[in-house]
């Protein structure tokens, strides 16, 4: 299913494969990185402890959303002191990104500027949400008081194994499943509009665009169905794998910025912004929507509205204003988003005024409200 070298295990009882994966890595002192909701849950802690087949050198649970550099540096120092020789991360996107960033800091020091050549601690991922971060090679950290993230691509930090055990998915709140799934869906959509072409990746993204809306609706109405949650996590891994080839674009750049500033999950931001970003694509380079239009079965000019319909009934808000964004915030958000690496994925060169227009439109609501 995955083109990358990540070893995949999924299904009931698959956490038991963790011991084998750690043995394959020669690990005797793995560290467990997990948010408090996982690390302090007696059942999940027992599951992860038994599955490892050896004691953890340390359990690090002081993680934070959007991977602030302060928490990364603190985690790295504690793992170094504990003599950890591998990282097991059980959590969502922020936990997984924090694990990669921690591996970078342990190898290269606290500057976090560009990847070095020192060996990284290997990482085994056990996701609790449908996050594309599970198989990616990119890492981005945030800094207190700064809008812009520090991003780095380091294939050496890609997970060696991905283990999807339904028991780790059961306790995740439905809203968090929805929000992570929304980001996955939006990444699949936008991955079909970028300047980078990859036929195999585009096939995977097309399947995800058609499959994910129904899975997200089912996850909302059937939250106890772990089969649906498992399918969402596997779809997210496929999208993460594919978008490593195609890249992201304007929606991702804006969501990275707004999510960091507001402190909320990127998912609702992604979903609100996407149709407006696609409308800009339709105006600047209609041909950039050809691949997505073919998947959706509509003309390129109809893609923005079609994506609004695709997201109906899933998005928890109508506009960015409901997420705490004001008109006064727009100029700084647009300028920062334009510097995000994802903004370079578009087939045209956007200017800051265009991003301001996208944000202003997204403040109010769906794209068809502005037709």
Residue pLDDT, tens place only, 69-118: 999 999 999 999 999 999 999 999 999 999 999 999 999 998 887 888 89
Q: What is the mean pLDDT of the chain?
A: 94
CATH classification at residue 314: 1.20.1090.10
- Judged against a pLDDT cut of 90, whether residue 271 lies above it is answered with yes
Residue 308 clears pLDDT 50, i.e. is over it = yes
Tokens of 255: 């969501």
Local structure of residue 121 (DSSP, 8 states): P
The verdict on 269 and 183 lying in the same domain is yes
Kindly state whether residues 216 and 363 are assigned to the same domain. Answer: yes
Any idea what the CATH number is for the domain that residue 136 is in? 3.40.50.1970
Looking at residue 1, its pLDDT comes to 63
The predicted pLDDT at position 368 comes to 63
Q: Taking the model in full, what pTM does it have?
A: 0.94
pLDDT tens digits along 310-349: 999 999 999 999 999 999 999 999 999 999 999 999 999 9
Q: Are residues 53 and 82 in the same domain?
A: yes
Domain boundary among 169, 196, 230: 169
Q: Is the pLDDT of residue 245 over 70?
A: yes
Per-residue pLDDT, averaged over 245-261, amounts to 92
* Pairing relationship of beta strands 86-91 and 138-141 according to DSSP bridges: unpaired
pLDDT higher than 50, residue 60: yes
pLDDT tens per residue, range 175-231: 999 999 999 999 999 999 999 999 999 999 999 999 999 999 999 999 999 999 999
Do the beta carbons of residue 136 and residue 238 sit within 8 Å?
no
- Provide the token pair at 205: 């993204």
Domain count, the chain: 2
Which of the listed residues 115, 141, 169 is the one where a domain comes to its end? 169
What pLDDT score was predicted for residue 369?
Answer: 42
Q: Is the pLDDT of residue 371 over 60?
A: no
Domain end residue (candidates: 134, 169, 204): 169
pLDDT at 286: 97
**How far is it, in rounded angstroms, from Cα 172 to Cα 158?**
24
Of 91, 85, 73, 72, give the one whose Cα is nearest residue 25. 85
At residue 147, the pLDDT reads 65
Identify whether 2 is part of a domain.
Answer: no
Q: Do 87 and 187 lie in a common domain?
A: no
Residue 88 lies in a domain: yes
> Are 92 and 176 spatial neighbours (Cβ–Cβ below 8 Å)?
yes
Asked if residue 160 and residue 63 are part of one domain, the reply reads yes
Q: Is there a domain that residue 1 lies in?
A: no
Domain range for 224: 174-370
Strands 138-141 and 150-153: antiparallel
Q: Express each pLDDT in 21-32 by its tens digit.
A: 999 999 999 999
232 and 124 share one domain: no
Do 185 and 97 share a structural domain? no
Shared domain check, 179 and 165? no
CB proximity list for 233: less than 8 A, separation 6 or greater: 10, 127, 129, 130, 131, 134, 164, 169
- Give the confidence band of 20 by pLDDT, cuts at 50, 70, 90: very high
């Amino acid at each position: 299913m995955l083109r990358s070298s990540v070893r995949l295990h999924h299904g009931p009882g698959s956490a038991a494969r963790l011991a084998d994966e750690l043995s394959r890595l020669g690990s005797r002192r793995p560290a467990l990185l997990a948010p408090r909701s996982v690390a302090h849950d007696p059942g999940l802690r027992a599951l992860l402890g038994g599955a490892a087949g050896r004691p953890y050198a340390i359990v690090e649970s002081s993680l934070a959303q959007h991977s602030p550099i302060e928490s990364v540096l603190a985690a790295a120092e504690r793992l170094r002191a504990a003599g950890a020789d591998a990282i097991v991360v059980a959590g969502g996107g922020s936990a997984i990104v924090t694990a990669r960033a921690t591996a970078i800091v342990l190898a290269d020091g606290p500057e976090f500027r560009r990847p070095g050549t020192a060996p990284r601690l290997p990482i085994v991922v056990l996701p609790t949400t449908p996050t594309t971060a599970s198989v990616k090679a990119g890492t981005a950290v945030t800094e207190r008081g700064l809008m812009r993230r520090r991003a780095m691509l380091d294939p050496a930090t890609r997970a060696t194994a991905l283990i999807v055990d339904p028991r780790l998915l059961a306790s995740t709140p439905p809203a968090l499943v929805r929000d992570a799934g929304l980001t996955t869906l939006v990444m699949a959509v936008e991955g079909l509009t970028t300047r980078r072409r990859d036929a195999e990746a585009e096939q995977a993204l097309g399947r995800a665009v058609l499959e994910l809306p129904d899975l997200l609706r089912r996850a909302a109405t059937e939250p106890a169905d772990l089969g649906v949650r498992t399918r969402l996590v596997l779809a997210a891994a496929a999208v993460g794998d594919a978008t490593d080839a195609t890249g992201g674009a304007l929606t991702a750049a804006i969501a990275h910025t707004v999510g960091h500033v507001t402190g909320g999950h990127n998912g609702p931001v992604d979903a609100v912004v996407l149709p407006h970003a696609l409308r800009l694509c339709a105006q600047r380079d209609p041909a950039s929507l050809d691949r997505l239009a073919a998947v959706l079965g509509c003309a390129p000019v109809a893609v923005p509205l079609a994506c609004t319909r695709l997201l109906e009934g899933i998005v928890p808000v109508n506009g960015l204003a409901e997420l705490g964004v004001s008109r006064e915030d727009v100029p700084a958000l647009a300028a920062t988003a334009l510097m995000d690496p994802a903004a370079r994925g578009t087939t045209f060169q956007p200017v800051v005024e265009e991003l301001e227009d996208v944000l202003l439109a997204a403040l109010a609501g769906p794209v068809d409200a502005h037709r």
